[in-house]
Amino acid sequence: MPELGRAALVVCLGLALYALFAGGFAAFTRRRRLAVSAQNALIAAFGAAAVASGVLLSALLRNDFSFQYVADHTSIELPTAYTISAFWGGQEGSLLLWLLVLTGFSATAVALNRRVGRDLLAWAVPVLGLVAVFFSFMLVAVSSPFATQAAPPDGAGLNPSLQNPYMMVHPPLLYLGFVGLTVPFAFAMGALLARRSDEAWIVSTRRWTLAAWTFLGVGQLLGAHWAYVEVGWGGYYAWDPVENAALMPWLAATAFLHSVMIQEKRGMLKVWNVLLVVGAFALALFGTFLTRSGIVSSIHSFTESSIGAWFLGFIVLVLAGSLFLVLTRLPLLRAKTRLESLVSREATFLYNNLLLVALCLTILWGVVFPILSEAVRGEQITVGAPYYNFFLKAFGLPLLLLMGIGPLIAWRRASLRSLGRSFIWPAGAALVAGATLLAFGAGSSPAGLIAYTFAAFVLGSIVYEFVRGTRARRALGGGSWLSAFNGLVARNRRRYGGYVVHASIVLLAIGVTGSSAYDTVRQQKLRPGETMAVRDYRLTYRDLEVRQGTNAEELRAHLDVERDGKSLGSIQAGKNDYRAEDQVSNEVGIRSDKLTLEDLFVIAEQVEPTSDQAIHFRVLVKPLVNLIWIAGLVFLAGALVAMWPSLAEQRRLAERYRELRAPARA
Amino acid sequence: MTAFAVGLAALLAVACVIAVALPFLREPEATDDRLAEPDELDRRRLELAEERDRVLADLKELEFDHRTGKVSDEDYRALVGPLRARAASALRALEPRAQASNLPRSAAMSEPFPAPAPAPEPFPQPDEGDPPQPPTIPDPEPPPEPFPPPDEGEPGVSRNIR
């Protein structure tokens, strides 16, 4: 039923246009019923987008190859799970997912703010409508998933790299993150349009930002794990432009989550915070543009198309409109207080912001420079990993250090005496850790040694914060240590959830440092029966198996693994030959040590099944790499603690707005 | 199939039109169609309420940080005075009389302000007993329950600022 899908998208476009124009007119002329009508249009747009999505999903599941999109991205042999993930495996489906999530989030934001944030909502609705207009227009006029054709007997299949369980969740999570940043953007713009200088937009969008940031963070880690197990080059992050495209809005949102606390605590950085929200949203659009326009050479640019110019135009419109609005509202956003000391919590947040934004901008330059170079000079230039690694060290290491310093310093100012008392334990832990690691040979990588020492300092400061906070709570309220600890976290979820997130970043840093600065790589051609040694591992190539998978021919080399003379079982690595897609993928062998968190990673780079079955193996030993995935779980736990609603806070905010005799009806 | 799809599409369009028209269908002749917005007084009051919440939060956090040892006695003494003065000032400014004398009352705020604005509580000295009531604050009525600052709620500490 492609007609229904097309009609639903046209209806969605009409509703989005109504939300934009009627909503804008209602907010400008203060018409209550029209404002509510525009809000209803956004909710109805979600219904229309859901119908369109249902039509596409149904066509995918029925293998209805009369839908061009279905024929281009699936095949009869494709397993059902990957047939579903083909929804976002192509450009048109991805845009539809964007629209579905956008209208869903918009409808939720409308429902949540109808009672408490009506004035702001009236202005946020047209902004949300504008974004929905862009995406529904793209789907109606430029890149429709409902184009039809004479149905071929079979489809072209899905890119083999996408045939991985992680692809079921990684792209949707990134989209949830990208689109989630629309809501804070819309409310920030709404506040500027309404000439509001208060914090209502921050209150309304605090959890949206946290949720979007969490989705982006988890989505990126899942993407890194996908790259690690599926792409088969032995790493998890290659500074690919599209990987960077997801990292940049995350960095901007991280900066915002820190600097917004300065606005809430001190009433400062209002302009900066609005700019960060605008930047994060524009970078989310840029990320979608990079992924889908095919403008950069990337494993993620599955398609090249004509949507690039439209996206670029919309990004320019968003940036120009937002900056114009900020400039015209500058007097409203002026801070009434100043930084009291360069040694204070807010100062460390400021340094943290500068470093995060600097890192974000250098990554942006690395992504954009090759595009500009090709456009202006006609030269194809690639910005490689050394560029990014240099800036990661230059900005990332100080950031890591600040993560430990920030929690130890009080707001406003700190004297040398209090600093000394706060720093002594974490700094002592860091020095002991650094000296111990140096003694064990970690000095082979100075950056690695510094990273580990800083990581010990941050972990020390987090533990120390929890210990002295729990002690103080127990002194105040009595009870057991456990109840004091629970009380401590429950009374300040954002702070202590944030510390847990910091701990996850430390684990990530340890994992990345261990697996990159201290890894070992060996390459060797082996025939059956031959052996190679890597560090304390010995691998013996036994045989090569050729078997038939669901939709691919699978070649697998079997290797026996020993360590220090003790058998660790076998491991297999090889390649899959996808017939329908006419592509070959690497299928790596990974053996994880649960105790040391180290991986033995085997790649069968060149398989020669027709001759003497010789294979060129590349074997990597990656110390501590599993900490990266554990960090993801800790990150999620910390983010959930920080996001968890606080009844006391809800009561306080309700009290604040009730006192103000907020408008009773809207 | 096409006719069925067109029928479903028409149903969808009609449902969406109804949803959009609902506010007008429910209230065809609304007596008040004005979308209320905060006027100058409301905005000022909101700023003051935010300032009040911010300062109370700062006080509670300062108190807690002092207890944990993060803030030294000398820093505490230097910081707590100005914070208390700001808290008193914000609380005083939120009183109806103060506002009425400073700003014209708008139509949207035509009702009297609700119950007495929160009267400031006597602030404690960090390491001493209850301090005297600040002389600048006349209203002796009991204050509302101190609400925790944004994610900084420390009920134990909040008792200390009474």
Q: Does an H or E element contain A575, and which? A: strand A566-578
Whether A225 has a pLDDT exceeding 70, the answer reads yes
Sequence-ordered list of residues with C-beta below 8 angstroms from that of A471, at least 6 positions apart, any chain: A484, B68
Strands A599-607 and A589-592: antiparallel
Number of H helices, E strands in chain B: 5, 0
How far does Cα A150 stand from its chain's mean position?
39
Mutant choice from A12, A33, A148, A641 vs B, greatest count of B C-beta within 10 A: A33
Rounded Cα gap, residues A542 and A560, in angstroms:
7
Residues of B whose CB is below 8 A from A14: 16
Q: Which of A460, A446, A346 is nearest to A397 (CA)?
A: A446
8 A C-beta contact, residue A355 and residue A401: no
- Tell me which residue in B33, B51, B75 faces A413 most closely, judged by beta carbons: B75
Q: Residue A88 carries which DSSP code?
A: G
pLDDT tens, residue by residue, A60-116:
999 999 999 999 999 988 889 999 999 998 889 999 999 999 999 999 999 988 876
Whether B110 has a pLDDT exceeding 60, the answer reads no
Residues of B whose CB is below 8 A from A122: 35
- Burial label for B126, CB within 10 Å (0-12, 13-18, 19+), is middle
pLDDT reported for residue B161: 34
- Tell me which residue in B6, B24, B53 faces A37 most closely, judged by beta carbons: B24
Residue A586 phi, psi (nearest 5):
-75, 135
In this complex, is the C-beta atom of B72 within 8 Å of any C-beta atom belonging to chain A?
yes
Taking an 8 Å cut-off on Cβ atoms, the answer to whether A659 and B57 are in contact is no
Spell out the domain ranges in chain B: 40-160
Spell out the domain ranges in chain A: 1-158, 173-379, 415-518+637-666, 520-622
Residue A552 phi, psi (nearest 5):
-155, 155
8 A C-beta contact, residue A99 and residue A12: yes
Nearest chain B residue to A28 by CA distance is: B35
Task: Kindly state the average pLDDT of the residues A29-46.
Answer: 94
pLDDT class of B71 with cuts at 50, 70, 90: confident
Residue-wise over A269-293: b if at least 16 C-beta within 10 A, else e? Answer: bbbbbbbbbbbbbbbbbbbbbbbbb
In this complex, is the C-beta atom of A647 within 8 Å of any C-beta atom belonging to chain B?
no
Mutant choice from B1, B2, B12 vs A, greatest count of A C-beta within 10 A: B12
Q: Residue B36 carries which DSSP code?
A: -
In this complex, is the C-beta atom of A659 within 8 Å of any C-beta atom belonging to chain B?
yes
Tell me what the pLDDT averaged over chain A comes to.
89
Nearest chain A Cα distance for residue B87, angstroms: 13
Whether A491 has a pLDDT exceeding 80, the answer reads yes
Residues of B whose CB is below 8 A from A41: 16, 19-20
- Tell me which residue in A15, A35, A41 faces B35 most closely, judged by beta carbons: A35
DSSP string, A268-293: --HHHHHHHHHHHHHHHHHHHHHHHH
With H, G, I as helix, E, B as strand and everything else as coil, classify residue A548.
Answer: strand
pTM: 0.86
- Tell me which residue in A265, A477, A659 faces B54 most closely, judged by beta carbons: A265
- Tell me which residue in A200, A418, A472 faces B75 most closely, judged by beta carbons: A418
8 A C-beta contact, residue A563 and residue A537: yes
DSSP string, A579-611: TTTTEEEEE-EEEE-TTT--EEEEEEEEE-TTT
Q: How big is the A-B interface in CB pairs under 8 Å?
A: 218
pLDDT reported for residue A335: 77
Taking an 8 Å cut-off on Cβ atoms, the answer to whether B62 and A646 are in contact is no
Determine the Cα angle at A466 with ends A252 and A483, to 5°. 120
- Tell me which residue in A43, A417, A656 faces B72 most closely, judged by beta carbons: A417
Share of chain A above pLDDT 70, in %: 96
Q: Residue A148 carries which DSSP code?
A: B
pLDDT reported for residue A304: 53
Cite the DSSP H helix spans in A194-306.
200-226, 241-266, 270-293
CA A67 vs CA A60, A70, A582, A620: distances in Å: 9, 5, 21, 44
With H, G, I as helix, E, B as strand and everything else as coil, classify residue A241.
Answer: helix
Sequence-ordered list of residues with C-beta below 8 angstroms from that of A125, at least 6 positions apart, any chain: A19, A23, A27, A35, A38, A39, A42, A106, A110, A186, A190
Rounded Cα gap, residues A562 and A538, in angstroms:
5
Taking an 8 Å cut-off on Cβ atoms, the answer to whether B34 and A494 are in contact is no
pLDDT class of A387 with cuts at 50, 70, 90: very high
Complex ipTM value: 0.77
Rounded Cα gap, residues A397 and B2, in angstroms:
61
In this complex, is the C-beta atom of B6 within 8 Å of any C-beta atom belonging to chain A?
yes
pLDDT reported for residue B112: 33
Determine the Cα angle at B120 with ends B118 and B122, to 5°. 150
In this complex, is the C-beta atom of A493 within 8 Å of any C-beta atom belonging to chain B?
yes
pLDDT tens, residue by residue, A280-311:
999 999 998 887 766 665 545 545 567 888 88
Determine the Cα angle at A352 with ends A349 and A356, to 5°. 140
Residue A315 phi, psi (nearest 5):
-60, -45
Q: Mark which residues 33-52 of A lie under 8 Å from B by CB.
A: 33-37, 40-41, 43-45, 47-48, 51
pLDDT class of A403 with cuts at 50, 70, 90: very high
pLDDT class of A242 with cuts at 50, 70, 90: confident
Strands A599-607 and A531-534: unpaired
Task: Kindly state the average pLDDT of the residues B110-117.
Answer: 36
Residues of A whose CB is below 8 A from B47: 197-198
End-to-end CA distance of chain A: 39
- Burial label for B98, CB within 10 Å (0-12, 13-18, 19+), is middle
- Residue whose pair of structure tokens reads 């990530």 in the numeric block: A508
Nearest chain A Cα distance for residue B138, angstroms: 20
Nearest chain B Cα distance for residue A62, angstroms: 15
Strands laid side by side in the A520-526 sheet:
A520-526, A615-622, A599-607, A589-592
